[in-house]
Structure 1
Amino acid sequence: MTSPTTGAERPLGITYSPCPNDTFVFHAWAHGRVAGAPPVDVTFADIDITNAMAERGEGDILKVSYAVLPYVLDRYTLLPCGGALGRGCGPLVLTRTEGAGPLDLTGRTVAVPSVKSTAYLLFRLWAAAQVPGGVGEVVVLPFHEIMPAVRDGKVDAGLVIHEARFTYRGYGLHKVADMGEFWEGTTGHPIPLGAIIAKRSLGEERLRAVTDAIRASVRQAWDDPAASRAYVLAHAQEMDPAVADAHIGLYVNDFTADLGEAGHAAVRELLTRAAGEGLLPATTALDS
């Protein structure tokens, strides 16, 4: 989808997920409803794909995991808006077994959405303290395939994100741990999940225009939620409208409009702690 343009300006390539929070946030911009905003050419992709795109330097603007930032900040800058960061919205570890605890994951196969996702990074930090024997094989699956894989016994446990927090009981699954509770309980910070990054080569002027466009798109979404509803539900993979609304309500918040100092502090804490544990390269390139 390309937003309308009357000039010769090349549309910027933007890739984000089909999840309700992203389609809600970017609806106005994607449909040319943000006055003066740069035109965009939209592609939908799962987080594992966008993380890999960022590492290859593909795409002007991408929704990626905060955990991938140390690998891409030489080419991309973190934008202060449009992403997912908050409280009470952490990834969950699920199994088929009611009452299962962290030790039950020892040596078990766990499905994750991406090995460079924030979810998996938090899982590794949590498991280092809670699963002393370590888990077994880790397999990567698209996030919407993880719960069926756990339910059907293809894997022993799954690390889930997005709307799975609202729907996992319908798959007969049980929560072992909440990575958001772990993170907030040990750091006091909100949990950084998905970031919006843009190529540094766009230059300061276009980067400012992109930031302004995202913020305006967020404001329009909040001012008129009904305008984006058809777009959200068309890409929500047959999601119940009530679940889509709950998803948006949880993941689109004040940090989406502006990370602010609290948001940046949470991101710095995540990257610093992970680097200290040897899970990520150290980086000092996080923009404010």
Structure 2
Amino acid sequence: MNSVEITLGHSPDADDAFMFYALSQKKIPLGNYIFKETISDIETLNNLAMDEKIDLTALSIYTYCKVADRYVLMNCGASMGEGYGPRLVAKHKFEKKEMSQKKIAIPGLHTSALLALCLYLGKRPKNLDLMVCPFDQVFMAVEMGSADIGLVIHEGQISYLQRGLELCEDLGWWWKQTTGLPLPLGGNAIRRALGVQRCRELQSIVRQSIEWALKNRNEALQYAQKYSRGIEPALTDQFVAMYVNERTIDYGPEGKEAILQFIAQAKMLGMVDPDIQVEFVE
């Protein structure tokens, strides 16, 4: 059987590293697929998907809205905040009514964190004072005074306390209180051009990789620690548990409803095409 090369993208973060460890290190059968990995920050992966330059990739749910005509969402690989998510942090606490008047450092214009922020404030990006910077430089922007507030993602959601910053709002908590649903942040998407059968086969491989990591947690965590940017192993474990769990294996009805609700509210705010349709690999 001839081999098939698949370009695979995921972020250099502990949760993605944990999720894709078994696939990357060939701990599971890969069939006739050869994976060529691209490990880049989520905004770079979002841009690759928008240019359709990658076959299978982690991406922001907000970005999926912009590429749904060319990509289909996997049923596995979700990053959902179960009452937690991207956090707005500052040197001192700002109330919600103050935040829309402050300069906010964000990790990208195509991230679900930005969409959640806009839904929270009820304003589109053009009506906010935003400073775009790499996700791992958001803390510095606040600490140096370049921005008043930082929108932090990844392990920054739990490490901000170590930097002496105050929590202004947890957008995952706000979303849960508002909708009763988890906050859909990231997912895995596959190019439609690969065909239905390959999409199903690739989804099966990714699901097996997630299941393997959850069953062999210590080994996968040891690998993931390399992508934790200096935080302690206990915090890495905590962060991975937040975003790689049973819902990562399968969205389930509630997870799918969360995505539909997130996108519906984005449509109401005028941030995505009103005709966008979400499709999952079945």
Q: Name the TM-score class by shorter chain.
A: over 0.9
Could you list the per-position Cα deviations for residues 212-254 of structure 1 after superposition, in whole angstroms to 9, with x for gaps in the alignment?
A: 1011111110111122234212222223211111111111122
Q: Which amino acid aligns with 2:15?
A: N
Q: Deviations over 1:135-162 (max 9, x none)?
A: 7520111111101211121211111111
Q: 1:106 to 1:25 in 2, by over 3 A?
A: closer
Q: 2:104 & 2:227 partners in 1: Cα distance?
A: 27
Local SS of the residue matching 2:208? helix
Q: Please say if residues 159 and 231 of structure 2, whose CA atoms lie closer than 8 Å, have aligned partners that are also in contact.
A: no
- Correspondence for 2:60 among 65, 68, 72: 65
- Paired residues of 1:86 and 1:253 also in contact (CA < 8 A): no
* Residue 16 of structure 2 is aligned to residue 13 of structure 1: no
2:97 is aligned with 1:103: yes
| Matched ranges for 1:58-97 at <5 A | 58-97=53-92
Q: Report the counterpart of residue 125 of structure 1 in structure 2.
A: 119
Alpha-carbon offset, residue 52 of structure 1: 0.9
Which one of the candidate residues 182, 185, 193 is aligned to 1:190? 182
The Cα shift of 1:40 comes to 0.9
Structure 1: which 5+ residue stretches go unaligned? 1-6
The answer as to whether partners of 1:148 and 1:171 remain within 8 angstroms in 2 is no
| Alignment check: 8 A CA contact 2:85 2:171 kept | yes
**Aligned-residue offset at 1:264:** 0.9
Measure how far apart 1:8 and its partner are.
3.8
Amino acid in structure 2 at the alignment position of 1:15: G
Q: Partner of 2:142 in structure 1? A: 150
Distance in 1, matches of 2:16 and 2:156, equals 16
Distance 1:257 1:158 in 2: 31
What is the identity, as a one-letter code, of the residue corresponding to 1:73? A
**Contact in 1 for aligned 2:81/2:172 (Cα 8 Å):** no
> TM-score, with normalisation over the residues of structure 1?
0.91
The answer to whether the 8 A contact 2:83-2:175 is kept is no
Give the superposition deviation at 1:89.
2.6
Which of 123, 127, 130 aligns to 1:138? It is: 130
List gaps (5 residues or longer) in structure 2. Answer: none
Which residue type is aligned with residue 27 of structure 1? Y
3-state SS in 2 of match to 1:239: coil
Q: Write the mapping of 1:167-246 to structure 2, written as runs, cut at 5 A.
A: 167-246=159-238
Q: Which residue does the alignment assign to 1:49?
A: 44
Give the whole-Å Cα distance in 1 for the aligned partners of 2:105 and 2:127: 11
* Aligned-residue offset at 1:208: 0.9
Distance in 2 between residues matched to 1:52 and 1:232, nearest whole Å:
24
Find the aligned partners of 1:93 and 1:40 in 2 and give their Cα distance: 36
Cα offsets for 1:80-109 (capped at 9, x unmatched) = 101201312311111111x42123324321
- Please state whether the residue corresponding to 1:119 is helix, strand or coil: helix
Do the aligned partners of residues 157 and 86 (structure 1) sit closer, same or farther apart at CA in structure 2, a change above 3 Å counting?
closer
Equivalent residues in 2 for 1:271-282 (5 A)? 271-282=263-274
Q: Which residue of 2 aligns with 1:3?
A: none
Q: What percentage of aligned pairs have identical amino acids?
A: 28
Conserved? CA contact 2:221–2:237, under 8 Å: no
Q: Counterpart amino acid of 1:100?
A: F
Asked if structure 1 preserves the Cα contact closer than 8 Å seen for 2:122 and 2:269, the reply is no
Q: TM-score, normalised by structure 2?
A: 0.93
